Amino acid sequence: MCMHPANANDPRPWPQQGLERMICPSAIAWVGTDTPDPEAGLIDRLSDKAVFMMGDNPALPRMPERPTLLDFFRLRFNDFTVQHLLASAKRAMDDGHDEKIVLACLLHDISNGCLVRPDHGYWSGQLIAPYVSEEVAWAVTYHQALRYVPDESVGYAYPDSYDRFFGPGYELPDYIRRDAEIARNHRWYMTSRVVTLNDLYFFEDTDPVDPEIFTDLLGRHFRQPEEGLGFDNSPTSHMWRTMIWPNNFL
């Protein structure tokens, strides 16, 4: 396994040193695909020289002991998610939207970065809930359902990209219809709706957005825990730890 270039000059030892550290991918990454269940084969390979990985993976940049939200943007989230979130938030900021909306745009697909894709609005809303206002977490949760539902009054149409992603005949599941209806009748509807209006895929070249432009806004609206995300014993700490150590066996 290759050492990530960011770790090249890190003098600290790695866990389980001297042993082969096997990675057993989480079932959600392979179930339903052509990849067979790897667990039994890996268990057969356990020996005094080969164990399952626990702790920092040298193939990933090492996280600081007290990680901040922007550390996850820089060191864990995939490039596509980072660019998409930064561009959405920058667009909302440039349009003069309220800071809570800019923050919701910045976080709306956060679970896609390094955690899980299915029901990403719900996962993302839950992940951030201990650290943002109830309204921001709500807007992130419901943007998933609202993405499918046009609202002509604000110029929002069903996304062309969804026709490409899912095919033109895609039928919405009942829970998405139900939750879009709940959102439409809620006092925070427009907060979530504005997230969907800025939820564009930038397939053309766009200038890279520096995450630091959101530092002040995060200072005002994201309750960064002193112990670091993952270590503050909030109801979602384990989700942040899963992103710090995505390859842990247990």
CB-based contact 72:240 (threshold 8 Å): yes
Least distance from Fe ion to the Cβ atom of residue 161, Å? 10
Q: How many residues does the chain have?
A: 250
Q: Sign of torsion, CA 223 121 107 188?
A: negative
Which residue's CB is nearer to Fe ion, number 142 or number 222?
142
Q: Which is nearer to Fe ion, 179 or 199 (CB)?
A: 199
User: For Fe ion, which is the closer residue by CB, 21 or 120?
Assistant: 120
Residue 229, Cβ neighbours under 10 Å: how many?
A: 27
- Residues of this chain that interact with Fe ion (CB under 5 A) are 109, 199
- The distance of closest approach from Cβ of residue 112 to Fe ion in the complex, given in angstroms and rounded to an integer, is 7
CB of 38 to Fe ion, least distance (A): 30
Residue 124 Cβ, how far from Fe ion at the closest point, in Å? 8
> Least distance from C-beta 88 to Fe ion, angstroms?
6
Tokens of 144: 């998933």
Of the pair 161, 215, the CB lying nearest Fe ion is at 161
CB nearer to Fe ion: pick between 56 and 109 = 109
